[in-house]
Amino acid sequence: MIITYQGIEFFKVQFGDVTIALNPVSKESKFKSSKFGSDIAIISADDDDFNGADVVAFAEKAPFVVSGPGEYEIKGITIKGFASKTKYGGKEKINTVYSINLENMNLCFLGAFEGSELSKDIVEGIGDVDILFVPIGGDGVLTPAKASEIAVEIEPKIIIPMHYGEVGDKDALKKFLKESGEGDVKPLDKLTIKKKELEGKEGEIVVLSANV
């Protein structure tokens, strides 16, 4: 599996001949967006910064769009969505937390989650998490301190912070690493990982450079 960061909460996940786009930034957003073809677009909240399924359609290839709570199975990938809330954009709205199972790995994508804690249904539904994508920027999503608390609760093998830099608290990444007891973490251009390489990892933070 190869994971690259496209900025805000936008990720490209590739494995085999399948590509997944997580919270693609739409053309209507004030932020820059990458454009590529995807098989599946997963959207956590109805906001221009997250709902750009149009930018991950290429030629005649249109992605299957997952945009809310429920259970889905596409191309052998199991996706479960759980309702939560966000205050991103200044107005409370539904945010969907996703559990994505592929290549025997369990990814948890919190999207624009903002709350004091995850509900019991979400905690039970996501199960054991290999890779956690967590927003850290505040301003409608988790603050760096709360993001660190949530990450500790979930106990993933790898933590990938998102939603910082161009958006929210400008010092969010530095604060998140400090809250997590980490020093400087050298950003990677991409994360290439296999299931067997997760063995022995406990809450390892991986910072990805935005490829925008």
pLDDT for 82: 98
| Domain annotation covers residue 89 | yes
pLDDT tens, N- to C-terminus, the chain (212 residues): 999 999 999 999 999 999 999 999 999 999 998 899 999 999 999 999 999 999 999 877 789 999 999 999 999 999 999 999 999 999 999 999 999 999 899 999 999 999 989 999 999 999 999 999 999 999 999 999 999 999 999 999 999 999 999 999 999 999 999 999 987 889 999 999 999 999 999 999 999 999 87
Residue 61 lies in a domain: yes
Q: What is the DSSP string of 96-145?
A: EEEEEEETTEEEEE-TT--SSS--HHHHHHH-S-SEEEEE---SSS--HH
Q: Give a yes or no: residue 127 inside a domain.
A: yes
Q: Is residue 177 part of a domain?
A: yes
CATH number at 147 reads 3.60.15.10
Rounded distance between C-alpha atoms, residue 81 and residue 67, angstroms:
8
Enumerate long-range contacts of 95-99, CB under 8 Å, 24 or more apart.
95/44, 95/45, 96/43, 96/44, 96/45, 96/67, 96/68, 96/69, 97/44, 97/122, 97/126, 98/42, 98/44, 98/66, 99/125, 99/126, 99/127, 99/129
Q: Does residue 83 form part of some domain?
A: yes
What is the domain extent for residue 36?
Answer: 2-205
**Residue 210 within a domain:** no
Q: How far is CA 210 from the centre of its chain?
A: 13
Residue 197 lies in a domain: yes
Number of domains in the chain: 1
- pTM for this predicted structure: 0.96
3-state class of 172 per DSSP? Answer: helix
